[in-house]
Amino acid sequence: MSKRILLIVSGGIAAYKSLELVRLLRREGIAVRAVMTQSAKQFVTPLSLGVLTEDHVYGDMFDLKEEREIGHIELSRQADLIVVAPATANILAKMAAGIADDLASTLLLATDKPVLTVPAMNVRMWHHKATQRNLAQLRADGIHVMEPDEGVMACNEWGRGRLPEPPAIVAEIKALLAVPRGLDPLADQPDFADEERVSRLAGKHVLVTAGPTHEPIDPVRYITNRSSGKQGFAIAAAAARAGARVTMVAGPVGLPTPTGVTRVDVETAREMLSAVETALPADVAIMVAAVADWRSADEAPRKLKKDGAGAPAPLELIENPDILAIIGASPHRPGLLIGFAAETNDVVPHAKAKLAKKGADWIVANDVSGDVMGGTHNAVHLVTAAGVESWSEMPKDAVAARLVEKIADALSE
Site for ligand CTP, residues 378 to 397, rule: CB under 6 A: none
Q: Which of 44, 38, 78, 39 is nearest to 62 (CA)?
A: 38
Of the ranges 10-18, 109-117, 329-337, 338-346, which one interacts with ligand CTP (CB under 6 A)? 338-346
Q: Whole-angstrom Cα distance, residue 306 to residue 178?
A: 55
Q: Which is nearer to ligand CTP, 205 or 295 (CB)?
A: 295
Q: Which is nearer to ligand CTP, 169 or 324 (CB)?
A: 324
If you ran DSSP here, which 8-state letter would residue 62 be given?
T
Q: How far is the CB of 245 from ligand CTP (least distance, A)?
A: 21
Q: Whole-angstrom Cα distance, residue 398 to residue 296?
A: 37
CB-based contact 158:151 (threshold 8 Å): yes
Q: How far is the CB of 407 from ligand CTP (least distance, A)?
A: 15
Q: How far is the CB of 180 from ligand CTP (least distance, A)?
A: 24
Beta-carbon count within 10 A of 337 CB: 22
Task: State the pairing for strand pair 215-218/205-210.
Answer: unpaired
Q: How far is the CB of 237 from ligand CTP (least distance, A)?
A: 18
Beta-carbon count within 10 A of 227 CB: 25
**Considering only residues 340, 366, 382, 406, which one is a binding residue for ligand CTP as defined by CB under 6 A?**
340
Q: How far is the CB of 287 from ligand CTP (least distance, A)?
A: 4
Q: Which is nearer to ligand CTP, 8 or 365 (CB)?
A: 365
Beta-carbon count within 10 A of 329 CB: 11
Q: Which is nearer to ligand CTP, 9 or 324 (CB)?
A: 324
Site for ligand CTP, residues 215 to 234, rule: CB under 6 A: none
Site for ligand CTP, residues 256 to 285, rule: CB under 6 A: 269
Q: How far is the CB of 341 from ligand CTP (least distance, A)?
A: 4
Q: Which of 194, 173, 172 is nearest to 183 (CA)?
A: 194
CB-based contact 34:28 (threshold 8 Å): no
Q: Which is nearer to ligand CTP, 233 or 340 (CB)?
A: 340
Q: Whole-angstrom Cα distance, residue 49 to residue 395?
A: 28
Q: How far is the CB of 107 from ligand CTP (least distance, A)?
A: 41
Quick check: 191 binds ligand CTP (CB under 6 A)?
no
Q: How far is the CB of 207 from ligand CTP (least distance, A)?
A: 12
Q: Which is nearer to ligand CTP, 49 or 286 (CB)?
A: 286
**Considering only residues 95, 223, 323, 382, which one is a binding residue for ligand CTP as defined by CB under 6 A?**
323
Task: Give how far Cα 142 sits from Cα of 68, 87, 135, 188, 398, Å.
Answer: 31, 16, 11, 7, 11
Q: Which of 130, 155, 178, 318 is catalytic?
A: 155
Query: Residues 282-321: x/- map of binding to ligand CTP (CB under 6 A)?
Result: -----x-xxx-x--------------------------x-
Task: Give the gyration radius of the chain's Cα atoms.
Answer: 23
Count of H-run helices and E-run strands, the chain: 15, 21
Task: State the pairing for strand pair 284-287/336-343.
Answer: parallel
Task: Give how far Cα 192 sits from Cα of 114, 195, 196, 198, 337, Å.
Answer: 15, 5, 8, 10, 31
Q: Which is nearer to ligand CTP, 197 or 381 (CB)?
A: 381
Quick check: 342 binds ligand CTP (CB under 6 A)?
yes
Q: Which is nearer to ligand CTP, 137 or 384 (CB)?
A: 384
CB-based contact 78:89 (threshold 8 Å): no
Residue 1 falls in the annotated catalytic set: no
**Considering only residues 339, 382, 400, 403, which one is a binding residue for ligand CTP as defined by CB under 6 A?**
339
Q: Which of 392, 187, 226, 363 is nearest to 287 (CA)?
A: 363
Q: Which of 78, 97, 170, 155 is nearest to 121 (CA)?
A: 155
Quick check: 210 binds ligand CTP (CB under 6 A)?
no
Number of residues that bind ligand CTP (CB under 6 A): 17
Q: Whole-angstrom Cα distance, residue 233 to residue 211?
A: 8
Q: List residues with catalytic annotation.
A: 155
> In the complex, which residues of this chain contact ligand CTP (CB under 6 A)?
209, 269, 287, 289-291, 293, 320, 322-324, 339-342, 354, 358
